[in-house]
Structure 1
Amino acid sequence: MALSQNFARLTHYSPRGVDPDDPALVLAMPLVLQIEKATPPARADLLAAAAQATALACLDPRSEPGAPWAAEFDAWCAGRIRKIARRARGAQWAAAADLPGVTAQVGQAQARAFVPGPVGTTDRRLTKLQIEGTDVEGELPGTPIVDGRGARLCLWVAPDLPMTVGKLAAQVAHASMLGAVLVPTDQAQRWFDDGCPVQVCQADRRRWAELLEGETRGAAIVVRDAGYTEIAPGSATVIAAPLPAG
């Protein structure tokens, strides 16, 4: 598998892409979170599933040059990357799973990342799903667990920046795909084969300041939001940093 070519696409991503004049032609990756009403998943697991599904989709063999998804991922990564998170349950989730994409499961939580495309032509099975009110309760751990299960990245969530789980899912998903370049080359294939495992943790102010300093050394990658929903433009939302292997 030419995994290195897909990693290279993420390495050369630039957030300075220009949107088309027609809003319907704006490219976005749909993300769907399975949130059953009677048995909602744990917040940390759901966020990790969203992040892992996104990384898996970006690195999938179907995204490689000449493969069926290559053109869509090339165009998406060449612009201002957007993700739109929705929630689904029951039959809605089953219907969405028929569309091209990759599903990840962490614990009892599942999320699916779909092939990006113009928002104006997104399949009805996705557009009818709810965006508002996409939230689940639960606390994020403050310290990562190094347990030898293959995780190579920790995605640290900003302190004092409340976000719904739908908004945060898009942020950690962004961090997973950009943070993939922090995975050592000799570990990249195993990380992909293991399902691109990550941990999602809550940073306190001290840890956050240290992580921001790490960005200047190339030891971390910071996601800064465009400010279209919920938070102010330029807000640092999530930081991806390497996690030592157990």
Structure 2
Amino acid sequence: MRPDYDPRDDPPWAMQLVVRAEKAEPPNHGAVCEATATAVVRLLTDPRAVEPDGEWREAVREWESRRIRKVTRRARGVRWPQAQELPGVTVEHAGAQVRAFPPGPMSEVPPELAKLQVAGLDLADAEEPSPPPEPPYAVIALNPDVTITTGKAAAQCGHAAQLLLRQGRRKDVKAWVDGGARVHLARDVPWDRCVKNATVAVRDGGFTEVPPGTMTAIAWIVRK
């Protein structure tokens, strides 16, 4: 965030994230978190976001100069294909489908997204967590002492993946991104020890669910 930025000066910016959550067969909590983190990284590394003439480049630059905010919404029925028609990046993973959209002012969210519900996305986790993928992949762990909904957890995982992309060791990040930016949500990790060894940690801005400064997630890359 630029040092002279005051959030009162203009409308806040955010990256919109939409999770497909059908009533009959909803995805599980962990798969949504993993898919969201991957979607964020794939959008930020998409040519449209990184090439000098990329159509998303300026929006990403402007957003990353401010508070990094993400808003998770849910879609079902016809609302999901309607959201798919807008520019963005969709990730399908372990039964979850998540689409990330280029960031923009909260006051200018497209109507197809603005009408989607933000609060209340809270999904059950899988009975048996999925095993880690083949390296390279990113590990994200959520703070076991903080209770948050799936929507909030997905946004925190997106934050962690973004920080890892921007602050991780270049060789590790390149291998991770080149391998598809796969993510594994770790459960039952020794939190205190992992915090000390993690590459990045997310401290929440306090917009929803938790007080400002709460450490919500940590992340690191596994290469082998």
Separation in structure 1 between the aligned mates of residue 133 and residue 23 of structure 2, nearest angstrom: 31
Aligned position for 1:116: 103
User: Are residue 201 (structure 1) and residue 201 (structure 2) matched?
Assistant: no
**Is the CA contact 1:20–1:26 (under 8 Å) kept in the aligned structure 2?**
yes
- What is the root-mean-square deviation in Å for CA atoms of aligned residues? 2.3
User: Are residue 160 (structure 1) and residue 145 (structure 2) matched?
Assistant: yes
| Structure 1 segment 205-216 matched on structure 2, within 5 A | 207-214=190-197
Aligned position for 1:78: 65
Give 1:187 shift: 5.2
Q: 1:79 to 1:141 in 2, by over 3 A?
A: farther
Q: Which runs of 5+ in 1 are unaligned?
A: 1-13
Give 1:188 shift: 4.2
Separation in structure 2 between the aligned mates of residue 191 and residue 244 of structure 1, nearest angstrom: 8
Separation in structure 2 between the aligned mates of residue 179 and residue 89 of structure 1, nearest angstrom: 31
**Is the CA contact 1:104–1:195 (under 8 Å) kept in the aligned structure 2?**
no
Deviations 1:169-218 (A, max 9, x none): 100000011112465534545533443101012345xx21112222xxxx
Q: 1:95 to 1:59 in 2, by over 3 A?
A: same
- Of residues 205, 214, 220, the one that matches 1:235 is 214
**Is the CA contact 1:161–1:237 (under 8 Å) kept in the aligned structure 2?**
yes
**Is the CA contact 1:34–1:109 (under 8 Å) kept in the aligned structure 2?**
yes
Separation in structure 2 between the aligned mates of residue 120 and residue 82 of structure 1, nearest angstrom: 14
Q: 1:16 to 1:129 in 2, by over 3 A?
A: farther
Give 1:132 shift: 1.4
Aligned position for 1:6: none
AA aligned to 1:211 is C
Aligned position for 1:31: 17
Aligned position for 2:160: 175
Separation in structure 2 between the aligned mates of residue 32 and residue 121 of structure 1, nearest angstrom: 16
**Is the CA contact 2:35–2:98 (under 8 Å) kept in the aligned structure 1?**
yes
- Of residues 162, 167, 177, the one that matches 1:192 is 177
Separation in structure 2 between the aligned mates of residue 58 and residue 17 of structure 1, nearest angstrom: 24
Deviations 1:57-93 (A, max 9, x none): 1111101132111100000011101001000012101
- Counterpart secondary structure, 2:148: coil
Q: Which runs of 5+ in 2 are unaligned?
A: none
Q: 1:53 to 1:183 in 2, by over 3 A?
A: same
Give 1:146 shift: 4.5
Query: Which consecutive aligned stretches of 4+ in structure 1 deviate over 6 angstroms post-superposition?
Result: none
